[in-house]
Chains A and B, each alone.
Chain A
Amino acid sequence: MIGPNGAGKTTLVRVLATLLRPDDGSLVLAGAPCPSQARRARAYIGYLGHDPLVYPDLTARENLELFASMYGLGDASARIDALLDRVGLLARSLEPVRGYSRGMAQRLGIARMLLHSPPVLLLDEPYSGLDVEGARVLDEELVPAAGHTIVAVTHEVDRAHALAERVVVMRSGKVVDDLRTAEVSLAELERRYAELVGAVAPT
């Protein structure tokens, strides 16, 4: 999803993550109508917002152990080790997150999001604050796999075109364009985006 500031992208992702009740319409996530069966739907979702959504005064390992319990993973130490290794934080996993840089904390946020191997990933500007290593890890995760769905909000039209199968353009709370990236070039997407959202070109 791309669009200018105030287009409603974050609101839509929060609705999809069942953090907000929609004013209107209906939402079905992995076969579970929301909000009536939101709890069941949440088991299928991995959500990463602007912030990593971890406790700064806990260590990376303690954070992941807490969230493993929240997803009913039982003994998840092997999974936690593997994820910490994957995001490059294994060596510093016993340090409080407060001492991490913004990029490291966001990498921990990626590990938290992937902990329960969710088939649906919801990402709200996931590259904001990420360092090069974190962006590389996230790029690897955002390769579409069979049976998986990834919804990501970004301001970067070129990255959206490179990673997504489908690009939705939002403006003033409405979907104003819905494109298959296989059918449009990056230049065409950028031109249409500029036309739809006004003179402001994407950054």
Chain B
Amino acid sequence: MATSQTPPRLEIAVAEPELAAVPRVGWRGPLAALVRKDVQLELRTKQTAIGMVLFALVAMVIFQFAIGSRTDDATPFAAGIIWATVALTAVLAVSRAWAAEREGRTIDGLLAAPVGRGVLLTAKAVSIFLYLLALEIVVVPLAVLFFVESAAATDLAIVFGLCLLANLALAIVGSLVASLAAFTRGRELLVPALFLPAIVPVLIAAAGGTFSVLGGTDDMAELRGYSLLLAGCAVVFGLVAYATYEFVFDD
């Protein structure tokens, strides 16, 4: 924009009756519509979920060759394998989170609407959460099948409880990183460089909690501690997102 000693002032006036006719926009309707749109697009194009599941399966096969064939019992490694696979695959979900909005800069249509930036960020976090949940529904039972000697149905249920907590933290930080990097040229490098270091505490807590369930120790105190750490990560990431969401879409 041109600069001068007196800053330019541009005013667009509209008659008062026209102003009164414009409805106020809440957050529930737009949030639901944005999540529904992401689900519709994924069901129609199947570009992200299938890619994530295939990537996760390949990663687990690699882990199987790297670890499984070197030991009779891979149970101690199962928790690490699950969460390393989820973390690496989550990079795909985060990188592709705004792929539909990048095409033809559809994001401009959303940003020009009277919806808070927080709603856009939250909707994307919900979508990433759903992607991760779909991934874990495939990965966790397979990992238990391949790497764990014996696990009860209740163990699986507890692990899925941990998945929900971990997904919350991963989705919040993933949405923030995706929104920061989605429209930059170097996003393929930027997303993993920002996302993976940020989720280290989540990985430590999720893998620790999962090990306390699947590793045979059945240490409930340890599980509680790691669950609290996961919840703490989600709260901290939520606060960071709340403090920064107004600025992440600035050009």
Contacts and interface: CB of A to CB of B under 8 A. Distances in A.
B12 interface: yes
Contacts, number: 164
Contact of A55 (B21, B22, B41): B41
Contact of B104 (A44, A52, A66): A52
A86 B191 CA distance: 43
B112 A47 contact: yes
Interface stretch (A77-85, A134-142, A146-154, A188-196): A146-154
Q: Is the interface of A mostly helix, strand, loop or mixed?
A: loop
Contacts of A28: 9-12
Contact of A51 (B1, B14, B21, B105): B105
Interface residues of B, number: 48
Interface stretch (B28-36, B87-95, B200-208, B221-229): B28-36
Interface in B149-181: none
Interface in A51-97: 51-58, 62, 65-67, 69-74, 96
Contact of B2 (A44, A49, A52, A173): A173
A54 B106 contact: yes
A8 interface: yes
Nearest to B247: A21
A25 B9 contact: yes
B14 A149 contact: yes
Categorize the interface residue count of chain A. 35 or more
B18 A49 contact: no
Interface in B88-111: 100, 103-106, 108-111
Interface string B1-15: 111100111111111
Interface of A: 8, 11-12, 15-31, 39-40, 42-45, 47, 49, 51-58, 62, 65-67, 69-74, 96, 112, 116-120, 146-149, 151, 172-175
